[in-house]
Chain A
């Protein structure tokens, strides 16, 4: 079945540092890929998405590229801010339902 494996956390960075959160997936077909974010005390929000190979999703300075050859969708940001502190979930959707990774907690210190 489908599965998503995320880099284990927690991740702690200083403000303005470069961020990478690794995500790899297993799927039988050609899924859409997503990154969701959950800020403290809030619900899951879509951060970015990519629907086919080589697509790049981007939002709020975050980027991720759909790499079919390596079955990966790594999340990157060039310069993190304290306000980026949250839990980040990688997910795929192939047949309607979504399969999520276990989340990576990011803490950004001033």
Chain B
């Protein structure tokens, strides 16, 4: 078990560009979550999947953000037309079971110039 992995670990982009992040959960986990964390704040929920179904999206998630989890395995988070306010750490987590204990990946740090 290698834990939750995320790629890339760091991404620097120019405003207006599109970016895509990948998350590989722990293999037997059926739930996958995306969070965003800015400096001095706790993680903020973006969206989550149970298997391949996207069950909930935050109202804070603009139309520029989209997430997929084809075949219920890895997931991608795409941000279109990036803005400077999108600069943050994007965290992925996975879980299995009913008590919602989540295992976090190392995060992808996005910097929008």
Contacts and interface: CB of A to CB of B under 8 A. Distances in A.
Say what secondary structure dominates the interface of chain B. strand
Given A44-B91, A97-B48, A102 B40 contact: yes
Interface string B3-19: 00000000000000000
Contact of A32 (B35, B40, B50, B99): B99
A103 B106 CA distance: 17
A42 B106 CA distance: 7
A51 B99 CA distance: 7
B43 to A, nearest CB: 5
A42 B41 CA distance: 16
Contact of A100 (B43, B48, B107): B43
Contacts of B102: 46, 93, 98
A99 B101 CA distance: 12
B101 A100 contact: no
16 contacts: A32-B99, A36-B104, A42-B106, A44-B93, A46-B102, A89-B42, A93-B100, A95-B56, A97-B45, A97-B48, A98-B33, A99-B45, A100-B43, A100-B44, A101-B42, A102-B41
